[in-house]
Amino acid sequence: MATTVVADDTGRAKPRLGDTIFSRLALAAGIIILVALAGVFIFLTIEGAPGLVKPASFYGSASTFAGYVAPLLFGTVLAAIIALVVAVPLSWGIALVVSHYAPKRVATPIAYVIDLLAAVPSVVFGLWGITVLAPKLSPVYQWLEEHAGWVPFFAGPASTTGRTILTAGLVLAIMIIPIITAISREVFSQTPRLHEEAALALGATRWEMLRLAVFPYARSGMVSAVMLGLGRALGETMAVAMVLSAGGGISFNLISNTNPASIASNIASNYREGTPGKIQVLIATGLVLFLVTFLVNFAARWVVTRNERKLAR
C-alpha cells in the first residue's frame, strides 16, 4: 500500500502531527533537565557560598574550607577508584559472556539477575556490608598487614571491625556492576554481525575477534558505561555512611580506620545535628561534589565524542 506524503508550497514534506508532538516533548524534556540542573547549582551556590568563609571552628580540625573538604574529596575519589578497579573487569567480563559466549538459555537468566541488582536499595547493600562483608574481611586485613605490610596500601594497623575504605569500595563495586554490565552488554550486542564473521573467516580466534572487531566498535559505549558507574560511586551516600568507619585525614592505607569519609556520607552523617552555620559548610561540600561529578560527565562526553570521530574517519 502506497504512502501519501503531504508537501507544503515549497515542495518539502510536511512533518506529521505525531512527529511534531514527539519532537516538542523531547525538546521540553531536555530543557526541563537543564533547568533542574541549573536550579540545583544555583541553590548550592547561594546556600553554600557562606560556608566557604566561616570561622575555623566550623571546620573541625581544619582551619579553612579547603582543608576541611580536601580529605572528604580524597575519600570520595579513593572509594570510587577502588570500586572501578573491581567492577569494570567483572562487568565487561559478564557482558562478554552474556553477549558472545554463553548460550541464550543461560545468558538470559544471568542478564536478569544482574539487572535485578540495580533495584536493590542502597540501605540493603549497606546492611549487608556492615553485618556480613566487614566481619569476613577483618581476618583478611590482618593477614595482609602481616604478610604485605611493606605495601603502603596494607601498612596497618588492620581494622578489627573491617569497616574500612576498602570494604566501602567493594560494596560500591557490587552496586555499580549492574550499570556497567547492562550498558556494555548492549553495545557489545550491537556490533555488526558482518564484522565478527569477517574476522572469524580470516582465521581470528574468538578473543581476537572480540579485540579487533567488537572492542573498537563498542569503545565509546564502554567508556560511557564506566563513567556512569563512576558517577554512581561518587554520589553514593547511605551504603558508604553505614559501612565506613572514618578516622579523618588523607591516607592511602586501605585496611585501617584512618581514611576519611566521602562527601556524600559526611553530609548524611552530620546534616541532622548541624547548626545553621555547619549546614552551610555541608552544602558547600555538596557544591564541590556537584562540580566534580559534572566535570567527570563532561570528560566522559568528550572522550566518547573523540572516539566517535576517530571511528568515522
DSSP 182-202: HHHHHHHHTS-HHHHHHHHHT
Q: What is the mean pLDDT of the chain?
A: 83
pTM of the full structure: 0.83
pLDDT value at 3 more than 60: no
Most confident among 90-94, 145-149, 249-253 (mean pLDDT): 90-94
User: What SS3 state is found at 178?
Assistant: helix
Please tell me the predicted confidence (pLDDT) of residue 312: 61
Which range, of 111-125, 240-254, 274-288, averages the lowest pLDDT? 240-254
Flag whether pLDDT at 313 surpasses 70.
no
pLDDT of residue 60: 76
Cβ burial of 222 (10 Å; 0-12, 13-18, 19+) is: buried
Q: CA-CA distances (angstroms) from residue 67 to 52, 60, 73, 110, 138?
A: 11, 10, 10, 46, 31
Least confident range of 8-12, 60-64, 100-104, 288-292:
8-12
pLDDT at 216 over 50: yes
- pLDDT-derived band at 83, boundaries 50, 70, 90: very high
Q: State the Cα–Cα distance between residues 249 and 61, nearest whole angstrom.
A: 10
Judged against a pLDDT cut of 60, whether residue 46 lies above it is answered with yes
The confidence band for 234, taking pLDDT boundaries of 50, 70 and 90, is confident
Give which of 188, 193, 195, 196 is closest to 225, Cα–Cα: 188
According to the model, what pLDDT value does residue 257 have?
Answer: 78
Averaged pLDDT for residues 131-141: 88
Quote the pLDDT of residue 88. Answer: 93
Grid cell in block for residue 90: 567483572
Question: Where are the domains positioned within the chain?
Answer: 21-312
Instruction: Please write the tens of the pLDDT for every residue from 10-37.
Output: 556 677 777 888 888 999 999 999 999 8
Report the alpha-carbon angle 137-141-147, nearest 5.
Answer: 140
Q: Percentage of residues in the chain with pLDDT exceeding 90?
A: 9
Distances (CA, A) of 293 to 1, 73, 107, 236: 52, 11, 33, 12
d(CA 295, CA 293) in angstroms, rounded, equals 5
Average pLDDT, stretch 76-83? Answer: 90
In sequence order, which ranges of the chain are alpha helices (DSSP H)? 17-48, 65-96, 104-117, 122-128, 134-148, 165-189, 193-201, 206-209, 215-235, 238-243, 263-270, 276-312
Q: What per-residue confidence (pLDDT) applies to 308? A: 66
Which residues, 6+ apart, have CB-to-CB distance to 174 below 8 Å? 87, 117, 125
Task: Inform me whether the pLDDT recorded for 87 exceeds 80.
Answer: yes
> Is the pLDDT higher at 69 or at 3?
69
pLDDT band, residue 1 (cuts 50/70/90): very low
User: Which DSSP letter does residue 151 get?
Assistant: S
pLDDT-derived band at 85, boundaries 50, 70, 90: very high
Query: What is the pLDDT averaged over residues 238-255?
Result: 79
Split at pLDDT 50, 70, 90, the class of 311 is: low
Query: Average pLDDT for residues 212-220, to the nearest whole number?
Result: 83
**Domain 21-312 superfamily per CATH:** MetI-like (1.10.3720.10)
Q: How many residues does the chain have?
A: 313
Cβ(230)–Cβ(80) below 8 Å: yes
With beta carbons less than 8 A apart as the criterion, state whether 165 and 82 touch: yes
* 8 Å CB contact between 229 and 84: yes
First to last CA, the chain: 39
Grid cell digits, residue 25: 516533548
Tell me the three state secondary structure of residue 234: helix
Average pLDDT over every residue of 158-176? 87
Please check the confidence at residue 220 and state whether its pLDDT lies above 90: no
Q: Please list, in sequence order, all residues whose beta carbon lies within 8 angstroms of the beta carbon of residue 233, skipping any fewer than 6 positions away.
A: 79, 80, 83, 84, 172, 175, 176
